[in-house]
Amino acid sequence: MNVATPGPEAAQIETAIVRMVRRFYAGWTDDALLAPILAALPEPEAHLAVIVDFWSRQLLGTERYQGKPFPPHWALKIEPAHFDRWMALFAEAARAELPADTAEQAITKAGHMSVAFQAGLFPLRGPDGRPMRLPH
Ligand code: HEM
């Protein structure tokens, strides 16, 4: 984790994170795979606020986010293809809204977590490369 960067640069990145998260989820609404997952969230605004706090912690070292990112993903009906779409939309939003070096830092972090989440969710793959996971 980074040491918190005090001062105007950190404040600018905080507001850029809010724009980035909004842009990211706006992308979900037009995406066939991700739109139903967003639509199923009972309180999307509360979720977005958690995600802003998560990225603030990752990129600025703030401590508003104190959760555990992985467990809620067990309950979702997601496959590797969802992660590919997630990463594509995230990279687009990060590059559009964050300073260039911060965007690359965020994309690298998200990529590592995407790989780790998939290793946890889909430990076994069939011959077709798809997860051997019992239907929900
Ligand atoms: C297929 C890709 C993904 C989908 C569809 C997805 C969807 C979701 C949803 C619907 C929630 C809210 C769950 C709930 O509150 O019940 C959530 C939470 C969260 N996701 Fe993801 N996610 C994906 C991948 C990722 C990745 C790669 C990261 C890493 C940056 C990530 C970070 C988080 C975090 C930090 C939370 C908040 C957990 C908490 O409540 O503390 N997600 N995600």
Contact criterion met (CB below 8 Å) for 31 and 89: yes
Contact criterion met (CB below 8 Å) for 10 and 76: no
What tokens does 16 get? 């850029």
User: Cα(39) to centroid of ligand 1, in Å?
Assistant: 14
Pocket of ligand 1 (CB under 6 A): 34, 37, 41, 47, 50-51, 54, 67-69, 72-73, 76, 78, 82-83, 86, 110, 113-114, 117
pLDDT at 105: 98
Q: Taking the chain (136 residues) in consecutive chunks of 10 residues, what is each chunk's mean pLDDT? A: 68 97 97 96 97 98 97 94 97 98 98 96 85 65
Domain ranges in the chain are 8-121
Phi, psi at residue 131, to the nearest 5°? Answer: -65, 140
For domain 8-121, give the CATH number.
1.10.490.10
pLDDT at 27: 97
pLDDT at 5: 53
pLDDT at 125: 82
